[in-house]
Amino acid sequence: MEGKPLEIGDADFNREVLEAEGPVLVDFWAPWCGPCKMVAPVVEELAKEFAGKVKVVKVNVDENTDSPSRYSVMSIPTLILFKDGQALETMVGFKPKDELADKIKAHL
């Protein structure tokens, strides 16, 4: 799990994201989404780069509708950075790794 995104669902969301210690980056995605496939390797790199500092999780929006709905996820990929149960940053669409890393670093 360390250094690799964790696949979670609605049932795990509160425990894995809202109750987690430290920042959590959530990738809301779907298997048919082209931009999601483009951002997936970037998310994996971020998970390695921030291992031990930031938890990275992925939520498949086709299989889990409650969590995306709760955070008004209308387009995918949407990445939301949480800390202490609060959504701090929302990034919609493909973003370069450096831009995502800067947003994460701002909350460490």
Catalytic residue among 6, 20, 33, 91: 33
Report phi then psi at 59, rounded to 5.
-125, 115
What tokens appear for 12 in the block? 């795990």
Catalytic status, residue 31: no
Catalytic residue among 17, 24, 25, 36: 36
Catalytic status, residue 36: yes
- Return the C-alpha torsion angle 6, 102, 94, 51, nearest 10: -20
Where in the sequence numbering do the catalytic residues fall? Answer: 33, 36
